[in-house]
C-alpha cells in the first residue's frame, strides 16, 4: 500500500529482482546439476535463504563454507558451486525497471540503491550492468556488515543520502523489507512482475 502526501524527492531501489533478475539455481546447477540444485534449495535440513543472508550481512564466503562443512558437509559441493558460478545467478536486467531508472536519472531525480548483496560477489553486477553507474550512491549490505530488514541499514542509507527518509520512496520485492522501510519513515512499493513501476511512482507525484 502506498502512502500519500507531498511527492518524494528521491527514489531508492533494491537491486535483486527489481533491476537485476536473480536466481541461484543456475549457479548451483553449473556445479552439481539441476536435480541437485533443486534438492539443495528445497532441503528440509538446510535453509539456503538464511545461509545466504549471512553473506549479505557481511559474513565471508570462507566462513560461510566452513559452516556448511562443519554442520552439513553433504551440501558443501552445492554451496561451493553457488559461489564459484555466482555470475550465472544474475540472469538478466529487468529492462522495464531499468528504463524507469534511466528516466528518473534523466529528469534529475536522485536515485540510490539499497541492496542485500555479498561484498565479495557484488563485482559481478558492477562489471555486467552499466546502469548501476546512474545511482548517486549504492548502499550494499555486505559492505556495511548489515542487511535488510535491519533498521540500522536504513540509518546508514539516511546518512549517505543526507536528507530525511520521509522524502524518499523505496522499491523492493520482499515484503519484510518494505515493512522495514515503512518503519524507517519511507514510503515504499513492493515490486512484483505484474506491477507497472512507472505508474506507481507517478501516483506519488514523481514526474519523469
Return the H-helix or E-strand segment holding 176. Answer: helix 175-183
Q: pTM of the entire structure?
A: 0.95
Please name the CATH architecture into which domain 10-19+94-203 falls.
3-Layer(aba) Sandwich (3.40)
- In tens digits, the chain (208 residues) has pLDDT values of 444 568 999 999 999 999 999 999 999 999 999 999 999 999 999 999 999 999 999 999 999 999 999 999 999 999 999 999 999 999 999 999 999 999 999 999 999 999 999 999 999 999 999 999 999 999 999 999 999 999 999 999 999 999 999 999 999 999 999 999 999 999 999 999 999 999 999 999 999 9
Q: How does DSSP assign 67-86, residue by residue?
A: HHHHH-GGGHHHHHHHHHTG
Amino acid at each position: 500500500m502506498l502512502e500519500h502526501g507531498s511527492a518524494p524527492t528521491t527514489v531508492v531501489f533494491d537491486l535483486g529482482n527489481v533491476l537485476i533478475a536473480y536466481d541461484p539455481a543456475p549457479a548451483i546447477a553449473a556445479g552439481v546439476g539441476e536435480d541437485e540444485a533443486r534438492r539443495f534449495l528445497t532441503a528440509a535440513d538446510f535453509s539456503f535463504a538464511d545461509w545466504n543472508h549471512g553473506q549479505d550481512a557481511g559474513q565471508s564466503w570462507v566462513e560461510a563454507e566452513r559452516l556448511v562443512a562443519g554442520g552439513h558437509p553433504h551440501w558443501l559441493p552445492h554451496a561451493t558451486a553457488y559461489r564459484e558460478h555466482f555470475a550465472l545467478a544474475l540472469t538478466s536486467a529487468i529492462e522495464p525497471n531499468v528504463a524507469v531508472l534511466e528516466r528518473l536519472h534523466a529528469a534529475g531525480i536522485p536515485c540510490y540503491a539499497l541492496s542485500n548483496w555479498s561484498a565479495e560477489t557484488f563485482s559481478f553486477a558492477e562489471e555486467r550492468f552499466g546502469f548501476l553507474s546512474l545511482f548517486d550512491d549504492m548502499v550494499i549490505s555486505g559492505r556495511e556488515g548489515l542487511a535488510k530488514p535491519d533498521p540500522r541499514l536504513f540509518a546508514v542509507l539516511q546518512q549517505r543520502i543526507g536528507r530525511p527518509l520521509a522524502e524518499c520512496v523505496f522499491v523492493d520485492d520482499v515484503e519484510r523489507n518494505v515493512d522495514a522501510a515503512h518503519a524507517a519513515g519511507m514510503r515504499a512499493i513492493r515490486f512484483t512482475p505484474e506491477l507497472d513501476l512507472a505508474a506507481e511512482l507517478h501516483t506519488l507525484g514523481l514526474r519523469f
